[in-house]
Structure 1
C-alpha cells in the first residue's frame, strides 16, 4: 500500500533510546560515564604516545600495546560521545548514514581488538617459550603483518555486514532500543527477511571469536607448560608477570563478549545487554591502559620520564 511504501522510504533517521528512561539516574550516570570515557581517552592516548617516544618501549610487545590502545580509543569514541549526548538532549536522533558509519567504525575496532589480543598472546608465547630467537621471530615485518591483517579483515567484515543491513528495508519503526547503532537492535527493525544476514553475522562472529580465542588458549597452554618446566620459583614468577597484564585483559574482554553474544535467547534482555555493552564499550577501554601501566615497570618509567620532561619545559 501507499502508506507502507511511504514508511519504507521516509526513514532517514533513528532515535536512540539511550541507557535508561529513569530521570533520577540521568545525571549520576552522565557524570560517571563522562569520567570513565575521559580516563579512557587520556589513558589510551597516553599509551599511544609513550610507546611511540619511550626508548624502552620499542619492542614488539609495546607495538601491539599501541595498537590495542588505538582500537580501544577507536570503538569507545565511535560510541561514547554520541551516548553522552543522549543524556543532554530530549530526543537523541542519529541520521540514517551516521548510524551506518557508527556501526562500521565500531565493528572495525572491536573486531581488530580480538585479533590484536591474539597477536599479543603469540608474542608472549615466543618471548617465554623461545626467548633466544625472540627478536628474529618477532621481526618488524611480522609484527606489521599481524596488525595489518586484522585491520583489513575487520574493515571487510564491517562493510559487508553494514551494507547488507542498510540495503534491507526498515519498517518505518525507527526507535533503536540501545545507546548506539548495534546490530541486534537494528535487525529487530527490519521488514525484510533477515535469515541470510543473521546467518552471515553468526558465522562471522563465531569465526572471529573462536579463531582468536583458540590462538590465545593455544599460546597460554604452551606458556603455562613452559613455565611449569622452569626450575626456579623466581624464573616462574618473572615469566608469569610478563603475561599477567595481557591475561587479565583477555579474560575481561572475552568474558564480556561471550556473556553477551553466546547466552541463550530466553535470557536475552536488552537491559542486561546494555549493562554488558557499557562494560565493553567504555569500561574495558578504560581498564586496559590502567592494567598495563600499573603492572608494568617500563611503562611507569616512560611515564615518569615524559612527565619529568614536561615539568622541565614549564619550569624554564
Structure 2
C-alpha cells in the first residue's frame, strides 16, 4: 500500500442532520456519526478526522469554554482531529445572503460565531484547518427574479462575512451546489467569487455537486456536456471535467470526495441537488480516484496541495445505510484510493 499520509482523510458529521427530519428520516446523533467514523478501518488505515457542521442537534455553537473543552476531549479521545466547519447560515439562525438587512446581518453573525468557535478549536490543538463552508442560503427561483441585484447583495454579504472571518484567521469556502441562488452554475459561481474579491474567499468543490454543473441543472445556458451526451463517453467527460476544474480549481480551498449517478435528489428541508451515492454504487458516473485528480492536480499534473485534508460528504443517505459500519469502511477504502493516487508523504 502507498505510504502517503497527506491529504488527511476526514468524514463529515452533518449528513446525520442534512436532509433528515421535516417529515423525512430521524436525525442521527453526533455520537453515532463520530463512532462510525472512528470504527472504520481498511488494512490498518483509519480516518484521520472529521469535518464538523455547527448545527444545534450536534454542536452548541454558543457553548462555554468548558463545553468546548469537553467536546474536544470527546473527539480527541478517539484519535480524530477536526478540519473544516460548516457555518449555520440558514434561517432561523442565519438568513438568505440576498435577503432583508436583518437576514443578511444574521448570516454574517452566524459566520462570526462559527469563526470564533473554530479559532477556539484551533487554539486547543484539535483543529487542523481554518476553512468554514458557506453558501448563499438563497433558493435559485428567488435569485432568478432579479439576478443582477440579488447577486450584488450576495457579494456584499459574503464580503462582510469574509471580514468577520478574517478577524479570527478563518477562510470561507463557497459551496458549489446547484440548489443555491447565485452559485447554481460554474459560471455564476465564478462570477460571485471574483466579485467578492477577498483574500480569504475560496471555493468548496464537492465531486457529487460539481458533476451537475456539467449538465446545466438550474442553469441550462452554462451546460458543459453536450445535450446528447452518453455516460460511456469517457473522453468527453474528461474534457468537460478539465474545463470545469481549470475554471474553479484556482479558487478551491476545500474538497469533498463523493459519487453521483447523474441525477438530482432532495429530502427533508433540503432542495434537490446532486445525489450523493455510495462509494461503490454501480450507477455512479464518476471514476472517483481518477476524477479527483482534476481537482487535486494542476494542468501540468503536479499536486496543488491546496487542501491538506479531503472529506467524504454522504448527505441524504438512508439511515439504514448510514448505520451500517460497512458503509463507512467502503467510503474509507475509496478515500484511500484517492490519497494513493494524489497524495504525498510528510515525515
What TM-score does the superposition give when structure 1 sets the normalisation length?
Answer: 0.28
Higher relative contact order (CA 8 A, sep 6+): 1
Please identify the structure whose Cα radius of gyration is greater. Answer: 1
Higher helix share: 1
